[in-house]
Amino acid sequence: MNGNRRAFLIGGGAALTAAWFARRSKSADASAAAPGSAQAVAKQVTIEEFSPDGKSLGLKQVAKVVKSEAEWRAQLSPLAFQVARQAGTEYPFSGEYDKNHALGVYLCVCCDTALYDSRTKFDSGTGWPSFYRAISHYNVAQGKDWTLGMLREAVSCTRCDAHLGHVFDDGPKPTGLRYCMNSVALRFVPYSA
């Protein structure tokens, strides 16, 4: 009797759990399709906007940029797609911004969010454009990257999740950081006069 009771309780619990998952998945499908539902409305993120001369215009809520793979491929060069959308890396010393010393702002190649100010750029000798600070902590996100068999801190654009590069703790003062970015993930805009 004890074994029958245990089987009944376990079987009943499994049936309730299955019913809960089925109901949850059905309601999630229905809410995703419903206009005005949380999933139908574009996710909002906070970024800091900047003027063409690199001055902060304050924080702004904007829609997260989400596109299909086909849309990203149509917008980006093959190398920019591989780096920004598939977390690739360009070859060192091959990017157009490694030796760029002009004054301006570096934007995300995918969504034009301001990412780095040229006044924080330095020659790291690594072959990639390097910065000791992001233009705003609101505009870049960081996450763990275990590729290449080691832990690194990956950097991406907050607004569109474009992979930009990695950040290391061997940079110059005042931050001691080295944001090692891929040129193809960036678009440089000189300061306006």
Contact 132, 172 (CB under 8 A): yes
Residue 58 CB partners (closer than 8 Å, separation 6+): 48, 49
Q: Is 108 a residue of the active site? A: no
User: Which DSSP symbol is given to 149?
Assistant: G
List the alpha helices (DSSP H) in 49-190.
69-75, 78-86
CB burial of residue 141 (10 Å; 0-12, 13-18, 19+): middle
Closest CA to 49 of 62, 39, 38, 58: 58
Q: CA torsion sign, 187 to 76 to 80 to 143?
A: positive
Distances (CA, A) of 92 to 89, 100, 135: 9, 14, 23
Catalytic residue among 108, 111, 157, 180: 180
Instruction: Look at phi and psi of residue 58 and say left if phi exceeds 0, alpha if psi is from -120 to 50, else beta.
Output: left
Catalytic residue set: 180
